[in-house]
């Protein structure tokens, strides 16, 4: 289960979008699926009708059950994705901390 602290922001633009992708090794397991802004799907976004300064901070939480079909050690990681150039997307901004909890379930 992820618990990711993030901040996205922009000045002089009417919108900002970003998201997280979960990877097992180099393979994408989960990717953002919300509407597209012309650059791809996103998890989070903020917009206003005219240009100005936008800031948005939150936690990304959730869960995913994965079946990697291996008995070897497996590495998971999250990647933050900024879908719009000129925008800021920071993880663990201003001293925040994030974590991933993984559990192995015997079958």
The model's pLDDT over 5-62, given as tens digits with 9 standing for 90+, comes to 777 777 766 777 788 888 888 988 888 877 665 666 777 777 766 666 766 777 777 7
Query: In whole angstroms, how far apart are CA 16 and each of 9, 48, 78?
Result: 7, 10, 20
pTM for this prediction: 0.70
Q: Both tokens of residue 34?
A: 């919300």
36-39, long-range: CB < 8 A, 24+ apart: 37/83, 37/84, 39/83, 39/84
Give residue 77's pLDDT band: very low, low, confident or very high (50, 70, 90): confident
3-class DSSP state of 93: helix
Instruction: Provide the pLDDT for residue 69.
Output: 82
Give residue 68's pLDDT band: very low, low, confident or very high (50, 70, 90): confident
């Amino acid at each position: 289960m992820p618990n990711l602290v993030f901040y996205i922001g922009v000045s002089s633009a009417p919108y900002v979008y970003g998201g997280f992708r979960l990877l097992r090794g180099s393979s994408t397991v989960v990717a953002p699926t919300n509407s597209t802004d012309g650059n791809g799907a996103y998890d989070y976004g903020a917009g206003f009708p005219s240009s100005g300064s936008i800031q948005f901070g939150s936690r990304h939480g959730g869960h995913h059950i994965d079946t990697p079909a291996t008995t070897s050690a497996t590495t998971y990681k999250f990647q933050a994705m900024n879908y719009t150039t000129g925008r800021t997307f920071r993880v663990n901004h201003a001293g925040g901390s994030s974590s991933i909890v993984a559990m192995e379930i015997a079958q």
